[in-house]
């Protein structure tokens, strides 16, 4: 379902059936890019107070003001939960931000990157070089393909798989269904783990509960983490994690001082705290 929002009186408003009755609005100074690709409408705005903003099919993907929270948490929680991740697969995230963060881990030897829409990569390289620098890493191998199909052809290959998906409308819909998660599991090495964009337990209760149910059934260890992103609906978003055996809620590798200085959001303390759920969410997850 496509629901393109328009700029009215200098303001962009994100309006989506996934969060009915709520609109997030940002003041816009300039439209830097606005074209429809083979898969989706791509807009790149210069906002008044939040830097550049990437919007796909009318839905905010990131703003420069707070993108670090999403990129760091979705990357470093699974990577620090693994004792020695060598082979990593990133699905989605054509802006390159997750690649930027994965690349900070020297132990990683290979990063396969799968993105369905090559135009998102091109636009990000032109307008968001502070994120798209992730593509400059020589360990990265780019695959322009449907992530759902790509992962089904992998077996026992990755230590960590990170899924930076859009919302379950349009190109990202299949990435929230059980067959995709079955493919993720088969693509893991022994003791491998996955981390996927897990939506909001306030706004998307049914979606989150379904992800929890799927991962509980498929993985020996399962958990849900959440963190703050002011320019996402509800001001937060979650990560759904599954592991073939490794503990997820505590980092198993020490973060060096030099590594920590590169970050803005993630710390070992935040890693553990992000798994502490509000009471209603605990009950919802127990019932999943």
Whether 28 and 57 share a structural domain:
yes
R_g (Cα) of the chain, nearest Å: 18
105, 85 Cβ separation under 8 angstroms: yes
- The pLDDT score that the predictor gives to residue 72 is 98
Question: What sign does the CA torsion over 102, 242, 209, 278 have?
Answer: negative
- Domain annotation covers residue 1: no
- Domain annotation covers residue 174: yes
Q: Which of 46, 63, 80 is the last residue of a domain?
A: 63
Q: Which helix (H) or strand (E) holds 232?
A: none
Whether 51 and 194 share a structural domain:
no
35, 47 Cβ separation under 8 angstroms: no
Whether 126 and 148 share a structural domain:
yes
- The pLDDT score that the predictor gives to residue 88 is 98
Whether 135 and 265 share a structural domain:
yes
Whether 185 and 132 share a structural domain:
yes
**What residues contact residue 177 under an 8 Å CB cut-off, 6+ apart?**
none
Whether 58 and 174 share a structural domain:
no
- Domain annotation covers residue 119: yes
Beta strands at 158-164 and 87-92: parallel, antiparallel or unpaired: parallel
pTM assigned to the model: 0.95
Whether 94 and 180 share a structural domain:
yes
- The pLDDT score that the predictor gives to residue 241 is 98
Q: Rounded to whole angstroms, what are the CA distances from 93 to 67, 98, 126, 135?
A: 12, 7, 15, 11
CA distance 77 to 202: 22
CA distance 146 to 204: 24
244, 191 Cβ separation under 8 angstroms: yes
Whether 12 and 83 share a structural domain:
no
**Total structural domains within the chain:** 2
Q: Output the domain CATH number for residue 49.
A: 2.30.140.10
The tokens describing 48, both together, are 């008044």
Q: Which helix (H) or strand (E) holds 167?
A: none
Q: Which helix (H) or strand (E) holds 285?
A: helix 279-287
- The pLDDT score that the predictor gives to residue 172 is 65
Whether 147 and 16 share a structural domain:
no
Which one from 137, 164, 258, 286 is the annotated catalytic residue? 164
Whether 33 and 74 share a structural domain:
no
101, 75 Cβ separation under 8 angstroms: yes
Residue numbers of the domain that contains 59: 7-63
Instruction: Print pLDDT tens along the chain (288 aa).
Output: 344 457 999 999 998 888 888 999 999 999 999 999 999 999 999 999 999 999 999 999 999 999 999 999 999 999 999 999 999 999 999 999 999 999 999 999 999 999 999 999 999 999 999 999 999 999 999 999 999 999 999 999 999 999 998 777 666 677 788 999 999 999 999 999 999 999 999 998 989 999 999 999 999 999 999 999 999 989 999 999 999 999 999 999 999 999 999 999 999 999 999 999 999 999 988 877
Whether 240 and 220 share a structural domain:
yes
- Domain annotation covers residue 153: yes
Burial-class residue 241 by CB neighbours within 10 Å (0-12, 13-18, 19+): buried
Whether 136 and 218 share a structural domain:
yes
Whether 164 is catalytic is: yes
């Amino acid at each position: 379902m496509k629901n393109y929002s328009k700029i009215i009186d200098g303001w962009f408003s994100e309006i989506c059936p996934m969060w009915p009755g709520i609109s997030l609005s940002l003041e816009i100074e300039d439209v830097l890019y606005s074209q429809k690709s083979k898969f989706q409408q791509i807009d790149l705005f210069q906002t008044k107070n939040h830097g550049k903003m990437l919007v796909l099919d009318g839905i905010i993907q990131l703003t420069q003001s707070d993108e670090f929270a999403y990129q760091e948490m979705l990357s470093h929680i699974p990577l620090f939960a693994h004792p020695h991740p060598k082979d990593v697969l990133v699905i989605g995230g054509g802006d390159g931000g997750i690649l930027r963060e994965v690349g900070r881990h020297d132990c990683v030897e290979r990063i396969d990157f799968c993105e369905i829409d090559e135009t998102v990569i091109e636009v990000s390289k032109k307008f968001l070089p502070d994120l798209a620098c992730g593509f400059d890493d020589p360990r990265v191998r780019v695959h322009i393909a449907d992530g759902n199909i790509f992962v089904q052809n992998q077996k026992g290959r990755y230590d960590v798989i990170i899924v930076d998906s859009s919302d379950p409308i349009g190109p990202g819909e299949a990435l929230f269904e059980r067959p995709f998660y079955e493919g993720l599991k088969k693509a893991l090495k022994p003791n491998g783990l996955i981390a996927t964009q897990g939506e909001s337990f306030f706004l998307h209760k049914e979606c989150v509960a379904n992800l929890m149910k799927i991962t509980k059934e498929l993985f020996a260890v399962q958990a849900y983490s959440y963190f703050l992103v002011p320019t996402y609906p509800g001001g937060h978003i979650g990560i759904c994690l599954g592991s073939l055996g490794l503990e997820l809620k505590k980092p198993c590798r020490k973060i060096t001082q030099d590594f920590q200085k590169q970050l803005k959001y993630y710390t070992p303390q935040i890693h553990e705290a992000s798994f502490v759920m509000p009471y209603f969410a605990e009950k919802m997850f127990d019932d999943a």
